[in-house]
Structure 1
């Protein structure tokens, strides 16, 4: 009985961590959108990374880690693509609804799932997720409403997201939980100066700081810690397929916090995407 319980825990605990992380990061993205009129997308990115880096550094104490040339390269790539993913995604939601931007961005983890899948059942969930995305995206008569620049930013963020999954797993296996603190610190050094340079006069005003703290914790400190724990416990392809839930979470967060409404077609898309995530969860097979 205890062995069965242990297997169930080993399967579903990482999934639960991922779900909590997704809810947290999309709630933080909705808050960040409220920061845009005050500090712009780049300023919101800078504050998110800075607050997250401070919180994660205090919690994980990464100065205790012993870095070697062998584990430094994955960590550096992980930190750079993490920062790029945040910066590009915030640029995309300047002109795109949150759920649509996440759907474009999801091409990254979807590609990870496609290129690392080996079993027929894996492709079933991937195809179902693709079908949901096709319904979620505004296609046909509404395509003119999509900002091309925003879509390109979101697709580029998706490329960073794919690399984040791959190198986050490698870095986590080599450096442990401190990888997330070190990675966010690297991202902060690389990308935070952009926002501070463009919005130096308003970055630390009393109107900005409460939102910045919320965005930093919800969008960076909490979700990246949970994702790092999950990445070291499940295969990359499973993580990528499970992230099919992200557009649905983003759309719901946009609806609740930002008042972005969904059509019945988009609700159908969310149902397909949720089913794909559930199917991937239930058919997890151990492996790298």
Structure 2
């Protein structure tokens, strides 16, 4: 069974972000899809920030803050676990530089998200737009560096398929989010606010899957709590399978009252049943000539 470990950080972050988005969307729909005073006159679909600038501003700020705090804890936990060898370790200077850059841009994205929720679009529209740009650009660029790092890790640790899976998930996120962000900027610039609002909601919901993807990265740390199980440092998949088979044999032996001691004693007995002394083999108690 999985123990409660570092993987809980991205789960909390993702659930908080998803819950905040659903809360804002459901509130806007349940109240009759109102047209807020700070919306454009021809706009019928509210932006996330339009809903968050009203009565639900405390929810918007709290949700954004908690999401980014636990997401940053996910980033820091991953780096610490890689440093400790409980996840695949960074082996080159390039990888370490990519780590630093990904953290720097993640912090920029964090600041952008928290500040855009504080400086709402109703009272601070220009500041809000700048913070929105920092939020999207910060996390997208951070994801690019993380994806680059995972690509290099996959070269050194080809036996660990989880690195490839995480790489492709993050690459998918980058491609989709960049395309949607370009479309969002274009429609917003052309004053097609309804289309831009739909794109903003889509970008935000897809961001949820990016947050959840760090669950995959942190999950292996549950099985590397002991020094003999350092991830990528001597125990490959084959060795881990052998150890699992030994554990299974011990469990079967325990079911018959012997436990692992029973398994070990059976191995010792099997080894002692065949001996060779001065060219004569003994099987059990009966001496047998070595010529046979």
| TM-score range normalised by the length of the shorter chain | 0.3 to 0.5
More strand by percentage: 2
Larger Rg, first or second structure (1 or 2): 2
When normalised by structure 1's length, the TM-score is 0.34
When normalised by structure 2's length, the TM-score is 0.34
More helix by percentage: 1
Q: Which protein, 1 or 2, shows the higher relative CO under an 8 Å CA cutoff with sep ≥ 6?
A: 1
